[in-house]
Amino acid sequence: MVDSVTFLGTSDGLPSTNRKHASLLVRMAGSTLLLDCGEPCGHTLKRMGVDFNSIDAVVITHTHSDHVGGFPMLVQSMWLERRRRPLPVWVPRHAIRPLQNWLRACYLFDSLLPFHIQWRPLSERSAMRCGSVRIQAFRTSHLLKLQQHFAGRYPAVGFNAYSIRLSAGGKRLGYSGDLGTHLDLDPLCDQPLDLLVAELAHVQPGQLFRFLQERPVRHVAVTHVGRPMLARLDQVKAAARCLNSKKVSFVRDDDVIRF
């Protein structure tokens, strides 16, 4: 199996007529992982002919709707397509119980499903593996402003969002998740990356590309481009030229990058 990322959805959080929401299918070192479950990831996997039984794990970086909205339908698709293997699901700890309740509200009861969902907390302190793939999480400041405004009113809600690094077979893949600032990428990029999937809905392109100039990243795949930036995409691409020798791809739904 060639190491690759298939972009199931590349939209930002706004509704779109031609882009689906955030979801990546990663094939690496013989394992298949789904990073984020923006809708309609289940439909897209089916259209692409992906066997639902082949997905080894799901990692959800945070629970904004455009990153998790397709999760119940993904679980239903796996049920109706007769998945039998246990499904590890890494998600921020605070979201485990609400997601369990969400599935029950959709009548996707534990006793109904022919496979077991293995709920696992996603955190910087966790040692996480899927087969030979090491999974590392790095907290971002994406939800900091929401936390400042709403934590007192909703004390039971966690405000954790993460970027992800996958390592196996001497290769490393970074996924920014959603950022609060380009500086959130610092720990993710402290080791060489063969591919960095970087969002461009919550950071400024000039700041992001200047930051990446000196980072050991071979290939940058730009996704999650905000609608205002799409309107001036030529200017954004021009700003990326400062990356010089690094390869830069502005990805669209269904694109595949091998690394």
**Distance of alpha carbon 255 from alpha carbon 249, whole angstroms:** 10
Q: How far apart are CA 215 and CA 207, in angstroms?
A: 13
Annotated catalytic residue: which of 66, 178, 184, 253? Answer: 66
Exposed / middle / buried, residue 177 (Cβ in 10 Å: 0-12, 13-18, 19+): buried
| Active site annotation includes 253 | no
User: By three-state DSSP, how is residue 218 classified?
Assistant: coil
Cβ of 198: how many Cβ atoms within 10 Å? 27
Listed in sequence order, the DSSP H helices in 48-161 are 65-68, 71-80, 96-105, 144-150
Known catalytic residues are: 66
